[in-house]
Chains A and B, each alone.
Chain A
Amino acid sequence: MKNILVARDLRKTYGENEAVKGVSFEIKAGEIFSLLGPNGAGKTTTISMLSGLIAPTAGDADIAGHSIVRDSLRVRERIGVVPQEIALYDDLTARENLTFWGQMYGLSGGRLKTRIAAVLEQIGLSDRANERIKTYSGGMKRRVNIGVGLLHEPQLLFMDEPTVGIDPQSRRAILDTVKALNTQGMAVLYTTHYMEEAAELSDRVGIIDHGKMIALGTQRELAQQIGGRETLSLHIGDDQNSQALAEVVRGLPGVDQASAMDHTVSVIVASAAEALAPVVGAASANGFRIRGVEVTEPDLESVFLHLTGRALRD
C-alpha cells in the first residue's frame, strides 16, 4: 500500500537537549499508526515537526508527496492536527469555533456549513453546538478539539494524546471516533503513553523513548522481538515497597527485566513455569508478601519493559 507519510531521520535539538534524535518511520494510507512512549519521549516534538509548526534541526519527511521542509503550506493543507492541549476559544460557541477553524483551512459557504454539521454529528455535540466552550466539560472540549482537525477532511490526522485527563466514557467515545474515521479511509498518527490504546487502535506501532525509535512494527512483530518471553505480574500489599521487590527479582536467573508500578511488579522471564518458584521464593525470603501472581502473554508494555528496563509510566 502507498505511504502517506515517510519520515527520514528527523532530529530536533533545543540547545543542549536533543529532543528527537533521528526518527524514521512510514505511515501507509488508511492505517492507524501509534507512537507509544513515556513523558518526554519526543512524541509532541515529532508531531510538531511533521505538522510544520517547528522546523526540524535535520532530516525531512514527505507527506502526501510534499516535503515538510520545502513545501510546508501544501503539507498543512493536507493534514489535520489535534493538539495535545485543548486549543479552542473559550468564549466562542462550538459552532463558532468550528466555523473559524474551518475558514482557516480554507472552507467557506455551503461546504463549510455541511462540514460543520457533519463534524458536530461525528463528535456527538449537535445539540450543544451553540453553547460557549467554557461551559463544556473536559471531555466535550476534547471532542471539539478533535472536531476542528476533521473539518477539511484531511488524508492524514495527527492526534497527540487526545485522551489525557478525561473520564472513561469520553475516552471510549474518542477511541471509537478514531476507529470510525479510520474505517472511512483516514490515516491517523496517534500518540499515547497508554499501551492499551495503542494495542486497541493500531495497525502498526512505533515505540519511542528518549527521542529514539526503539521498536517499530505490527503488534505481532513487536511481540516476537522479545522472543517468546512471558510476563509475571506480582501483586503485593499496599504497605510493601514494589521498587525494592523489583530490585530483588532483577538479579535472579531466568529473569530478563523487572519493573515496579504502583503495587505490581512486572517481571519478564524466558519461561514462566521455570521462573515462578525462584521469583516467589526470593520475594518471601526478603520479607515480601505476594497477594497474587498472573502470567500474561507479551504485550506492548512488556516490549517496552524488555527494551528499556522501565515501565511506560513510571
Chain B
Amino acid sequence: MPKSLLIALKDLTLAFRDVGGLLLMLLAPFALTVGIGLVTGRFSGDSSTGLSQIPVVLVNNDDGDLGRVLVETFASADLADLLEPKTVTDEAAARAAIDADEAAAAVIVPAGFSTAIFEAVADAPSIELVLNPERPVSAGVVQSIVESLLSRIEVGRVSGQVAVEQLLQTGRITPDQAEAIGREFGEQQAGTAGSAITIRRVDVSGRAAEAFDVLTIIAPGFALMFLMFTVTNAGRTIIQERLNGTLPRLLAAPIGAGEVLGGKLLGIFLIGVAQVAILILANGALFGVDWGEPVAVIALVLASAAGAAGWGALLAALAQSPAQISGLGSALMLIFGILGGSLGNQIALPDMLLPVAWLTPNYWGIQGFAALGTGASLAEIAPDLGALLAMAAALFGVAIVAFRRRGLV
C-alpha cells in the first residue's frame, strides 16, 4: 500500500477515535436534521410509514391522446398499490380537494394540450400540478410520475420517434396507443426544437410546494455545514503533528516530503467522505430518505468532500497555530453555512453575495442533493460536480504552494 494512503488511513482512524470531534462530525448535524425535520412536520403524516394509496385528483380537459395516456398511466395496474387516482371534471373541485388535504396532488391537463404539443405551437399550455405542501413526499411521487411520463413523450417528440419501447416496457401505454402517438409525433417532427411540454407547478400555501422531501435539503445542508468543521479539524492535525514531533519523525523516515503532504491532504478528504457518507446513509436508513441515483449520490459525496477538503488544506497551509485554525474553521463553518444555504434557502441573500456563495461547497452540494432527490441524473448535476472539483483543484493547488513556500513539509 502506498505510504500516503497509510498516512491518510491513520488519520481516518484517529478522527474516529476523537470523541469530541465525533460529536461535531456526526451527532450535531444529525440532531439538527432531526430537529428541523420535526419542525417541518417531515416525521408526521405520510412519509415515515412507507408510501401507498396516495390520493391523486386528475382533471383531463384534453380531448387528445396525451391526456388519455396520462389518466391511464395513473390508473395502471403497476401503480395500483401506490396511487389512488380519482378523475373529476371540475378544476375547482380538484383544488378544493388539495386545500381540504383530501389529496396529495392534483394533475390538471389543459384543453387542447395534445394538439398544441403535436403541432408544436409556440405557447403550448402547461400541465398544471397542484401539490399538497402537507404531504411533500407523496406529492413528490406524483410529480415524478408526471415528469417521467412527459419526459418520455418529449424524448420521442424531439427525436421523431416515441420512446415506444420504454413506454411499453413500463406499461405506461398499450401498443395501440404507442402506434397512434408515434405516428402523430412523426408527422409533426419537422420544424420543432426544444421542449414544448412544460409543467406548471402551483404553490398552494406559499411554502415550497415542489419540495420532494425536505430532508433531501436539510440533511445535506447540515452535513455539509459540519463538513467544514471536519475538514478544518483534519487540516489542523498537520500543524499539530508538526508541533508534537510526529511530522518531523515522518520526514526523517524514508519517505518523500511530497508523499507525507499528499497523505495528510488525502486524509482530510477521506475523513470528509466518511462523515458525509455516514450522514447520508443514516438519514436514508432511519428516515427512508430517497437520495436518488446511487452512482450520482456517490459522485456528489466525493465531490463535496473534495471541495470542502480544499478549504481545510488551505487553512492548514495558512494558519500559524492549531488554535488559529480552529477559530478560522468555526468562522468558515458558520459563514459558509449561511451563504451556502445550509441554514435555509439562502435567506434573503442579496444578489451581490451570490458569487460569494459560489465559493462554498455547501452551495453546490445542497443544490446537487436537492436535484438528485427529485430524480435528477448524474448528467444533470454535472455543473455542481464540476464546480466542486474545480474548487478542490484550485484550493489544493494554492495550499500545496503555500506549504512548500513556508517549508512546512
Contacts and interface: CB of A to CB of B under 8 A. Distances in A.
Interface string B247-276: 011111111100000000000000000000
A105 B246 contact: no
A87 interface: yes
Nearest to B246: A87
B18 interface: yes
B169 interface: no
B248 A53 contact: yes
Interface of A: 48, 51-53, 73, 76-77, 81, 83, 85-89, 91-92, 96, 100-101, 103-106, 108, 148
Given A85-B244, A100-B6, A106 B254 contact: yes
Given A89-B10, A89-B14, A91-B14, A76 B252 contact: yes
Contacts of B18: 91
Interface string B220-262: 0000000000000000000000001110111111111000000
A281 to B, nearest CB: 52
A52 B14 contact: no
Given A81-B249, A103-B6, A104-B6, A76 B14 contact: no
Nearest to B6: A103
16 contacts: A51-B252, A52-B251, A53-B251, A73-B254, A73-B256, A76-B253, A83-B252, A86-B245, A87-B246, A87-B248, A92-B17, A100-B6, A101-B253, A104-B3, A104-B6, A105-B253
Nearest to A85: B245
Contacts, number: 57
Nearest to A81: B252
B2 to A, nearest CB: 10
A104 B255 contact: yes
B14 A92 contact: yes
A86 B244 CA distance: 8
Given A87-B246, A104-B6, A53 B254 contact: no
Contacts of B6: 100, 103-104
A208 B1 CA distance: 42
B167 to A, nearest CB: 57
Secondary structure call for the B interface: helix
B40 interface: no
Nearest to B11: A89
Given A103-B6, A104-B6, A106-B254, A87 B14 contact: no
Interface string B1-17: 10100100010011001
Contacts of B249: 81, 83, 87, 101, 148
A57 B14 CA distance: 37
A88 B245 CA distance: 8
Interface in B13-38: 13-14, 17-18
B79 to A, nearest CB: 53
Contacts of A73: 254, 256
A294 B176 CA distance: 119
Contacts of B256: 73
A195 B249 CA distance: 27
Nearest to A52: B252
Q: Interface centre among B6, B18, B245, B246, by most A CB within 10 Å?
A: B246
Contacts of B254: 73, 76-77, 104-106
A94 to B, nearest CB: 15
Contacts of B255: 104
A100 B10 contact: yes
A76 B14 CA distance: 26
Nearest to A104: B253
Contacts of B245: 83, 85-87
Contacts of A101: 249, 253
A131 to B, nearest CB: 13
Contacts of A92: 10, 13-14, 17
A105 B248 CA distance: 14
A130 B6 CA distance: 20
A223 B17 CA distance: 54
Q: Interface centre among B6, B14, B254, by most A CB within 10 Å?
A: B254
A83 B248 contact: yes
A86 B248 CA distance: 11
Contacts of A96: 13
Given A48-B248, A76-B252, A85-B244, 7 more contacts: A76-B253, A76-B254, A88-B246, A91-B17, A96-B13, A104-B253, A148-B249
B264 to A, nearest CB: 13
A46 B1 CA distance: 33
Nearest to B247: A87
B247 to A, nearest CB: 9
A148 B252 CA distance: 12
Q: Interface centre among B10, B14, B252, B254, by most A CB within 10 Å?
A: B252
Contacts of B253: 76, 101, 104-105
A150 to B, nearest CB: 13
In the A-B complex, the 9 residue pairs with the closest CB atoms? A87-B245, A87-B249, A76-B254, A77-B254, A104-B253, A91-B17, A85-B245, A51-B252, A87-B246
A108 B250 CA distance: 17
Q: Interface centre among A48, A89, A104, by most B CB within 10 Å?
A: A104
A65 B256 CA distance: 20
A77 B1 CA distance: 18
Contacts of B3: 103-104
B250 A104 contact: yes
A85 B254 CA distance: 20
Contacts of A88: 246
A55 B251 CA distance: 12
Contacts of A83: 245, 248-249, 252
Contacts of B1: 103, 108
A103 B3 CA distance: 7
A77 B252 CA distance: 9
A153 to B, nearest CB: 14
A73 B252 CA distance: 9
Contacts of A108: 1
Nearest to B253: A104
Q: Interface centre among A52, A87, A148, by most B CB within 10 Å?
A: A87
B251 to A, nearest CB: 6
A76 B17 CA distance: 31
B152 to A, nearest CB: 54
Contacts of A85: 244-245
A257 B13 CA distance: 57
Given A91-B17, A92-B13, A53 B244 contact: no
A67 to B, nearest CB: 15
A108 B18 CA distance: 27
Contacts of A87: 244-246, 248-249
